Structure 1
Amino acid sequence: MKKNVLAASLSRALAGALLVAALPAVAQSTVATPDGGDGRRGEATQLEAIEVKGEIVYRDRTADTAPVLSYDLEYFQQFEPLTVGDMLKRVPSVAFLSDVLEYDGVRLRGLDPGYTQILINGKRVPGAGFDRSFFVDRIPAELVERIEIIRSASADRSGDAIAGSLNIVLRDGYSLDGGYLRAGALSYSDDEIEPLVGAVWGGEALGGNLLLGANAQGRRNPKQKYSWRYDAPGGGLDNTERQTDVRSGEDYSFNADYSVPVGQGQFGLRAFFVRTDRMQEEFSTEYSAGVETDQNIETLNANDLDIRTDNWAVDMDYSLPMAGGETRIRLGQAGIDDEQFEFEDEYEYLRDANPFPEDDRFTGDRTYTDIRDREISFELRHERDVAGKELRFGVEVVDKERETSILADRNRITIPNAPAPRPAVPGEFGPYLPVDGGLGTIEERRIEPFVRLNGEAGAFEWETGLRYQHTDLDVTDLTVDPADSKSSKDYGILLPSLHLRWNLDDDQRLIASFARTLRRPNFDQVTPALLLAELGDNDLLGNPDLEPERAWGLDLGWERRLGRRGVVGVNLFYRDISDLIEIANTGVEGDEGEGTWVLQPRNTGDGQVWGAEFDLSTPLTAFGMENTGVFFNYSWLDSEIEDSFGTRKFNDQSDYVFNVGFIQDLVELDASFGLTYRKQGEAWGRIIGEEVRTSYNGDLEAFVEKRFGEAWTLRLTGSNLLDASKDEVFDKFNTLEDQVLRDHDEYEVETEKGGRLYQLVLRYSF
């Protein structure tokens, strides 16, 4: 109680003081080393000390021939993002279909997270999701040097990027000379306070350049949900549900980077570790006929999920002059350990013949999930000049092993309509047993040779390349019949790419890109398990013979420099995707009997994705307002795909996403302030058994900052200031025929609200 009163007093005092003066970022000057956009280090550059500067940072214009947008940490830092997810919500074409104030699975160009490749320092990292996606809210923003949006694939990067790639480049030993300390607190809508502390140092040490960073922060997201359930659209109200959902925990992270000359070459060693401890606590009450009294309670449900996730990576490389060029050898290992324990206790009051609270029933579910994923990678590449052109070739080898263990148990007790003593609740649980498809191993071996050639002719620059990705996949599922428990699949795909850049003058250029990419099947789609009543009343059977989805992509862009620091750009994109993985009917009757079927994912049909992206980042110097920076991006997104019921967009693709904001630097006051507003359009998705429409209100953020001398910065930020909601409408069906005929099993409307979040952060640079 005391900490809440103290925090509220501090917030009011700070707001009063700073609103008189106001903010820009701790402009920590960094010098990025040249790395070709793949996260690898280049030659040593002069280190710059960290100091507090009143300078607005804008989007960078990269030298890549391929279309790449680059955003330094300082572009985001005024708004004190906690995670990479918080950063990405301000860049073009990034949408999220998460809960309110959650930014985990990136939907680049609005597509499912499995279509977006997440790289850290230019290399893939394993994620816990079955769709191979990596949750970007696992990486604290303080580890990051910059974020690159790679709109079209190049031959020297993995081609698993139909929507594009996001490269998270972590700070390295060349980023800074000095360090900073960071401390603060976060205040949530339920009056709880969470701390945050961090420290980073970089400079010359041990004969080379060393960077060390550590960060710890509390996280919390209290939400309220409300649902109305009907028997059909426009039908009678069956029940309502009130739910509280509180997610709280801590993030701990550490990163290190060391580079030192060895012989004629340069040796580098990098490592990072991130631990997420999180508890999700949900409690809900359902009422019959919308009458919210004790006598009308239908169910009480408590659902808690305890999560501990460790992400880590260790990477070393050695670069040296060789054979008239430069050769680089890299060896790395990355992993994720995701451990979750979930329980759900539900009390049902079955009062058909008896008044409350007789004829009760208790159902208890316990689920333990343990996912262990390891990737060992080796890369050999060589770069050299050939007839005035840059040639880069090499091979990357990846060995992946993923072990999944999902164990569950259910305990159900019907409490008889009898006087006490009643059976003990929750009663005795039996042994944990694997769920169907929940115990097994996936082994994946990739060999990916590549070649890339860059050149220029007058005002034209070009890049062309070819990558061959060969994959051997072995699946072991210990929950099925031993005769079907092991399966193997191998495939190889050629991925050509071509990028052209026409420098119209010193300030503007045109870019055209053409590339082939792919998306691999989800892990749970290639296991041969049969899941009963997984899609409505229909069963779902896995398919180990699935091929990856393939796409041809085209990007056309124009970019212009505005003055000394501003940039404006327009990009048009198109993807033609074949071998889409969609659910098909096997024709076998389902476990629930007539009208239900065994369904299976198969490579059926094609789809197209297209859109337009606009971004602007510039000071208003032309209007005599050099200390005012404006930011705006808008993406219009569309697609077409055909499923069992007809034509639709790709599932859950938003119609649009845009961000707009400004930062005002008050030079004489050593202060700054700013606002940013974000909105994404409605999304709609359809699978067998369920259709859902999702919409979000706009999200407003603000900050105010005061700088003290050359070393101190105090910043207050506010997020979700409009108390935005997420609204969903569900159409639910039992069978395929019911869905075609629109014969609803249930029609549900749900709204979810979070609350405002305030941060107070003090930084000291040295």
Structure 2
Amino acid sequence: MPTNFCWFAIFSVSAGAAAQTVEITATRDRARQLDTAAATIVGRDELLRYGDQSVAEALKRLPGITVSGAPGRGGDIRMRGLGNGYTQVLLNGQPVPSGFSIDSVAPELIERVEIMRVASAELGTQAIAGTINIVLRKSALSAQREVKLALSASNGEYTPDVTAQISGKGAGWTYTVPVVATGARTRTDTAADESGFGSDGAPTLLRRTDVGQMDVRPSINLTPRISWTLPNGGSLSSQNFIRLMTLDLRTVSNDRTTLGAPTRFPANDTVFRAHAETLRSDLQWLHQSESGARWDVKLGRNLFQREADNTFTGVRADGGGTLMRVVDSSARENSSTFGGKVTRALDGGHTLVAGWDAARGRRTETRREHLQPGDSVPSLGNEVYSSRLDRIALFAQDDWSINAAFSLSAGLRWEALRTRTEGNVLDQVERRTQVASPLLQALYKLSDKGQLRAGVTRTFKMPTLINLAQRRYTIDNNNSPLSADMQGNPYLLPERAWGLDLACERYFGKNAMASASGYARRIDDVTIDQVAQVGSTWISTPVNAGRAHTWGIELEAKFPLQSIVPAAPALDLRANVARNWSRVDGVPRPDNRLASQVQLSAGVGIDLRVAAAPVTVGASFNFQGGGPARLSARRSSWNGVQRELGIYALWRVDGRSQWRMSAANMLGQDNRSQEEFVDLSGTLRTKATTPSAASVRLAFEHRFD
């Protein structure tokens, strides 16, 4: 990106701020300014400011970050408009287990979130779009007891939650035990219109389907941590993450076909119940040797298990009575991690980091289907699936401060992975992959406030174990090209990308900065979903589809108004906008975007500290663009825009107590989408509308002496 454009973009969103000469004292902005990789740190106060119930809802206010799905319902978190595995999610610097949702970690359990748009040798290069690292609460330096009681309301449903934390210390050790218990309840209604046309354009199908869903999932989350100071000056700490969750998901569907053949079960309901337990435990040893080398060694263990049953009850369209289909399933996942690094400062301004990262995991799933007599759909019977992942990585990185103005970070990460899938109805398939990822990043300071960044990286994206396994995930009713069964592909190749990142930044004072950045990625062996008819059944399978390209720009500015007008109120302003483009060479134009990439996102926010009272109020507005996307040669989609308005008010009663009121999704905008399939026989189209509702949350927070 040309330098003159960078400076124009920066000054256009923060004109006049450069005239102020204020010492930079904001810790996180100062760290971002000095770091060659430019990590954005989102602290605990910012995560909790709007009273969000999920991390995704809090992070989508940041530049270039969006969330898929209806507002307030959570979903796939995306950097640069890309989800579906392009964004790497870490928990305390380690990859999260398969099936892990970022929303399973309550904001109250988090110390900070680190957002890195450029990959690093240390944290891994499975980050084509970027990396989000969730850091759990640390041990407190003094004894603390805190409690928060909250109640949320949305669409006639109420969600209570309780947060508590106990911290303390003894002779050479500290501990903290944060706990969050919540009884989440969500009601969703969707209306879908399905239409079909023959090859001559004549209507062949007209159907309306109304779907109501009730989601109840009480859960308890704990992140206990204990740290010891060792006699030699080092430390040993144990960080744990425990989640117990029960899910009761009820779906009622009714469709009316006015033209064409009806579905097999026009009236049906599904009840899905599950119990899940997640345990993650990390043991970390830190040691500073006499030679000046700093050792950091981690040993981790992950355990996950889920028991579930799914009951489908459908009323037959042919008058043949009612069918009940019950599927019992279970999942077990065990994995171990072992990693470490050594850091040492060398002569000439060099800081060398070298280390290793290893993991071994196994996931086993079982499925038992019970069918009533007379069902013509063949039973899949008793099935057992197993998948295994072994990973070893070696990395080295040199952070070189050449002079006061120029610094370089050069790294190399070599990673070898082996995956194996098998089952009693599957062939055993084993794949081995090796990836060498060089990385080079540079930081050049034009002055004590302005600087330029550049980075070249090699990243990749591995297929998930679910996408590799040939297990069939079946549709209970109305199998079609737009509602197909899903089946993995054991021959999928990893996606590999070369990336270029450029940025220019200017820091004006405490909590005041502006930046303009651009990126480009070339991705080989990109994965798309291919839909084909096998017999009378439509099946969707992931396949490699050649090369893809994506590029974009991001603008960000934030500053206190008093940094420009000293006599102004204590008002903090922030704004961001991101524009993304992409194309998949193997998919016909137009609109052959990568993974339905979000093309445009923007946000503005204000925070006001009221001088006459211990009150802070604020508001934020976020926009997420929609539009058409070509998914394959025969499939396309369309998504509507999303506009979300949120407000909050914080009243500090005294030094120990405070009330927080927040309202999210105040516009209550409907979520609209469309999918279309076209082949020689004609066109099938589905339009869906999901209404959303505002949510209000009231919380009381108290800290005991």
* Fold equivalence (TM over 0.5): yes
- Code of the aligned partner of 2:49: Q
Which of 606, 627, 651 pairs up with 1:706? 651
Instruction: Please give the alpha-carbon distance, in whole angstroms, between the structure 2 residues aligned to 1:540 and 1:704.
Output: 46
Within 5 Å, give how 1:265-344 maps onto structure 2.
265-289=234-258, 299-322=266-289, 323-344=291-312
3-state DSSP class of the match of 2:133? strand
Cα distance change on mapping 1:307 and 1:700 into 2, 3 Å:
farther
In terms of mean alpha carbon deviation, does 330-339 or 572-581 score higher? 330-339
Instruction: Please give the alpha-carbon distance, in whole angstroms, between the structure 1 residues aligned to 2:38 and 2:119.
Output: 9
Task: Answer yes or no: is 1:523 the counterpart of 2:490.
Answer: no
Within 5 Å, give how 1:117-516 maps onto structure 2.
117-128=88-99, 134-174=100-140, 178-190=144-156, 192-232=157-197, 235=203, 238-264=206-232, 265-289=234-258, 299-322=266-289, 323-350=291-318, 359-387=319-347, 388-411=349-372, 433-434=381-382, 439-458=384-403, 459-480=405-426, 485-516=427-458
Instruction: Please give the alpha-carbon distance, in whole angstroms, between the structure 1 residues aligned to 2:168 and 2:505.
Output: 36
- Structure 1 residue 741, shift from structure 2 partner: 4.0
Instruction: Please give the alpha-carbon distance, in whole angstroms, between the structure 1 residues aligned to 2:673 and 2:699.
Output: 35
Instruction: Please give the alpha-carbon distance, in whole angstroms, between the structure 1 residues aligned to 2:104 and 2:553.
Output: 30
Kept in 2, the 8 Å contact 1:362–1:413? The answer is: no
- Code of the aligned partner of 1:504: L
3-state DSSP class of the match of 2:57? helix
Q: Deviations over 1:63-96 (max 9, x none)?
A: 3211311110211322111121222222222222
3-state DSSP class of the match of 2:413? strand
1:635 aligned partner: 578
- Structure 1 residue 690, shift from structure 2 partner: 4.3
Aligned length: 663
Cα distance change on mapping 1:526 and 1:430 into 2, 3 Å:
closer
1:607 aligned partner: 548
3-state DSSP class of the match of 2:556? strand
3-state DSSP class of the match of 2:612? helix
Kept in 2, the 8 Å contact 1:675–1:703? The answer is: yes
Q: Deviations over 1:152-211 (max 9, x none)?
A: 111112211111110111111157763421012112222x33221111233433522222
- Structure 1 residue 649, shift from structure 2 partner: 0.5
- Code of the aligned partner of 2:558: S
Cα distance change on mapping 1:700 and 1:538 into 2, 3 Å:
closer
3-state DSSP class of the match of 2:466? helix
Q: State TM-score, norm by structure 2.
A: 0.87
Instruction: Please give the alpha-carbon distance, in whole angstroms, between the structure 1 residues aligned to 2:185 and 2:416.
Output: 43
3-state DSSP class of the match of 1:669? coil
- Structure 1 residue 257, shift from structure 2 partner: 1.7
In terms of mean alpha carbon deviation, does 200-209 or 238-247 score higher? 200-209
Task: Answer yes or no: is 1:743 the counterpart of 2:682.
Answer: yes
Q: Deviations over 1:632-664 (max 9, x none)?
A: 221111111033545610122111122222111
Which of 489, 512, 518 pairs up with 1:572? 518
Kept in 2, the 8 Å contact 1:145–1:175? The answer is: no
Instruction: Please give the alpha-carbon distance, in whole angstroms, between the structure 2 residues aligned to 1:104 and 1:474.
Output: 28
Residue identity (%): 21
1:89 aligned partner: 60
Cα distance change on mapping 1:741 and 1:614 into 2, 3 Å:
farther
Instruction: Please give the alpha-carbon distance, in whole angstroms, between the structure 1 residues aligned to 2:299 and 2:667.
Output: 47
In terms of mean alpha carbon deviation, does 305-314 or 396-405 score higher? 305-314
Within 5 Å, give how 1:643-662 maps onto structure 2.
643=586, 645-646=588-589, 648-662=592-606
Structure 2 unaligned residues grouped into runs of 5+: 1-24
3-state DSSP class of the match of 1:643? coil
Within 5 Å, give how 1:41-120 maps onto structure 2.
61=32, 63-120=34-91
Instruction: Please give the alpha-carbon distance, in whole angstroms, between the structure 2 residues aligned to 1:147 and 1:729.
Output: 34
Instruction: Please give the alpha-carbon distance, in whole angstroms, between the structure 2 residues aligned to 1:308 and 1:712.
Output: 36
In terms of mean alpha carbon deviation, does 180-189 or 406-415 score higher? 406-415
1:673 aligned partner: 617
- Structure 1 residue 366, shift from structure 2 partner: 2.4
Instruction: Please give the alpha-carbon distance, in whole angstroms, between the structure 2 residues aligned to 1:752 and 1:600.
Output: 27
3-state DSSP class of the match of 2:147? strand
Kept in 1, the 8 Å contact 2:526–2:548? The answer is: yes
- Structure 1 residue 496, shift from structure 2 partner: 0.7
- Structure 1 residue 321, shift from structure 2 partner: 2.6
Cα distance change on mapping 1:409 and 1:217 into 2, 3 Å:
same
Instruction: Please give the alpha-carbon distance, in whole angstroms, between the structure 1 residues aligned to 2:586 and 2:321.
Output: 40
3-state DSSP class of the match of 1:288? strand
Cα distance change on mapping 1:297 and 1:378 into 2, 3 Å:
closer
3-state DSSP class of the match of 1:661? strand
- Code of the aligned partner of 2:129: A
Kept in 2, the 8 Å contact 1:228–1:237? The answer is: no
Kept in 1, the 8 Å contact 2:518–2:553? The answer is: yes
3-state DSSP class of the match of 1:61? helix
- Structure 1 residue 495, shift from structure 2 partner: 0.6
Instruction: Please give the alpha-carbon distance, in whole angstroms, between the structure 2 residues aligned to 1:217 and 1:627.
Output: 35
Instruction: Please give the alpha-carbon distance, in whole angstroms, between the structure 2 residues aligned to 1:60 and 1:223.
Output: 42
Kept in 2, the 8 Å contact 1:58–1:618? The answer is: no
1:721 aligned partner: 666
- Code of the aligned partner of 1:486: Q
1:49 aligned partner: none
Instruction: Please give the alpha-carbon distance, in whole angstroms, between the structure 2 residues aligned to 1:152 and 1:176.
Output: 36
3-state DSSP class of the match of 1:344? strand
- Code of the aligned partner of 1:280: L
Within 5 Å, give how 1:547-626 maps onto structure 2.
547-582=493-528, 591-592=534-535, 601-621=542-562, 622-623=564-565, 624-626=567-569
- Code of the aligned partner of 1:611: G
Kept in 2, the 8 Å contact 1:571–1:613? The answer is: yes
3-state DSSP class of the match of 1:242? strand
3-state DSSP class of the match of 2:266? strand
In terms of mean alpha carbon deviation, does 161-170 or 685-694 score higher? 685-694
- Structure 1 residue 315, shift from structure 2 partner: 0.6
Structure 1 unaligned residues grouped into runs of 5+: 1-30, 35-56, 129-133, 291-295, 351-358, 416-428, 733-738
Instruction: Please give the alpha-carbon distance, in whole angstroms, between the structure 2 residues aligned to 1:108 and 1:285.
Output: 37
